[in-house]
Structure 1
């Protein structure tokens, strides 16, 4: 296999690379998932919706990588992850975030409040 970096999008308009990844075998895509998550740090990027579509085809496999993002200090990225990815996952996948979502609803940090993560967390909890 090529170097993972050679497979990933190179810029915010690199739809061709995403289409190549979509045609790869699932087993080949799995190692790319953490890096693909980085492409939905801002859903305004042109390539982000295509990457999101791809990520949603890995509802179970993406969970640990999403948990890594949710334990980071990047509240803006968390907002995009919750609003566009987690909310679209199956109940079986969403339930794995219950502890985090409950904590954000009950005791949000000032930064989480500023990004309104408590509101999206509440909305997601209502679906599980």
Structure 2
């Protein structure tokens, strides 16, 4: 078995590695998903849209790993996750974040307000 680290992108321009992952069997991709979350930490990185596209084909498998991001101190990363991933999930996946999204929409922290997480949370709430 290959080491997961050997399969992951090595830099933010590593489209070849992401394309290789996309061609793998689904059962070989899902173990990579938690580590791939780091590659959407900034949607300005060139590989981020491709990784996001991959995540959207694995909503059930990526959902359990998203709370790790949402519990981090990185409001910018949270904004990207809410704006580019959760809002694009099927409704049955989005509702799994209802408690978090409601809290952010109704009682955002100072940092969440600064990054406008409350606004995207309100937008997501309208869809679930």
Whether TM exceeds 0.5 here: the answer is yes
Q: Please report the TM-score for the alignment, with normalisation by the length of structure 1.
A: 0.98
Can you list the C-alpha shifts for 1:13-38, whole angstroms capped at 9, x where unaligned?
10000011001111111111011111
Q: Aligned partners of 2:89 and 2:80: how far apart in 1?
A: 14
Q: Aligned partners of 2:94 and 2:67: how far apart in 1?
A: 11
Q: Aligned partners of 1:68 and 1:96: how far apart in 2?
A: 14
TM-superposed deviation, 1:126:
0.3
Q: How many residues align?
A: 128
- 1:113 equivalent in alignment to 2:123: no
1:30 aligned partner: 30
2:88 aligned partner: 88
Deviates more, 1:24-33 or 1:95-104: 24-33
1:58 aligned partner: 58
Which consecutive unaligned segments of at least 5 residues does structure 1 have? none
Which consecutive unaligned segments of at least 5 residues does structure 2 have? none
1:101 aligned partner: 101
Can you list the C-alpha shifts for 1:60-93, whole angstroms capped at 9, x where unaligned?
1111111111111111100000110111000000
Alignment of 1:70-81 (within 5 A): 70-81=70-81
Q: Aligned partners of 2:73 and 2:63: how far apart in 1?
A: 18
Q: Please report the TM-score for the alignment, with normalisation by the length of structure 2.
A: 0.98
**CA RMSD, aligned part only?**
0.6
Q: Aligned partners of 2:6 and 2:78: how far apart in 1?
A: 26
